[in-house]
Amino acid sequence: MIRVLLADDQALVRAGFRALLDAEGDVEVVGEAADGDEAVTEIRRLVPDVVLMDIRMPGADGLDATRRIVADDRLKAVRVIILTTFELDEYVFEAIRSGASGFLVKDTEPAELVAAVRAVARGDALLSPSVTRRLIAEFALRAQRPRPYPQLAALTDREREVLALAGQGLSNEEIAAKLVVSPATAKTHVSRAMVKLAARDRAQLVVIAYESGLVRPGWLT
């Protein structure tokens, strides 16, 4: 059973998400919150698997709440999906960088919402191609001297190669095709890189690939 907490300042939105998710046999909504502070309190109390977090709420917003969740060692297993009205929300970049596992626009189709919750519960990242491109563009604009990342030394040459491809937004299937290996092998390399780099999920691999300098803006075609 995937345990979900809903954080949104609009009661009607929470009610709609609850009705949709509770109708699924493998998903259970265990709590709700109307702002970031309440969300953090309830998440610490309930420790859900997935949080649907509105990025814009009164008081502490979803971005602040996400940072606090990621910083709490007791909540390492909690995955945050940011909810936004617009795909190009100015805070999406910072939310992913802060540890969110991905994002959903609020008008997402019901089936896509359920699939997203299941995907993030499995540890997958929830980044659409357009958001991945936007993350890359943001890194290009904010590019600074890469900071030391000694954990990269623990990676094999193949894992570094896979990390660079994941950092460019490629899926396991696309990585497999590029390296001429099976998708299962690509997934194994990605998983091992995540473990060695202590990355929460695939979204964090994109951040690490750029901040470490393994992938640099301008290399992509």
- Residue 29's pLDDT band (cuts 50, 70, 90): very high
Res 135: pLDDT = 64
Please, what are the domains in the chain?
2-126 (3.40.50.2300), 138-212 (1.10.10.10)
162-168: average pLDDT = 86
In this predicted structure, which of 9-13, 68-72, 93-97, 157-161 has the lowest mean pLDDT? 93-97
Res 123: pLDDT = 76
pTM over 0.85: no
- Residue 75's pLDDT band (cuts 50, 70, 90): very high
143-161: average pLDDT = 83
In sequence order, the 6+-apart residues with CB closer than 8 A to the CB of 8 are 14, 17, 34, 52, 54, 57, 83
Mean pLDDT over each residue of the chain, to the nearest integer: 85
Res 208: pLDDT = 84
d(CA 141, CA 82): 23
Q: pLDDT above 70 covers what percent of the chain?
A: 84
In the numeric block, the tokens 């803006």 are attached to 217
| Helix, strand, coil share (%) of the chain residues, nearest 5 | 55, 15, 35
165-176: average pLDDT = 84
**How crowded is residue 186: how many other Cβ atoms within 10 Å of its Cβ?**
24
Res 22: pLDDT = 95
- Residue 104's pLDDT band (cuts 50, 70, 90): confident
d(CA 39, CA 3): 14
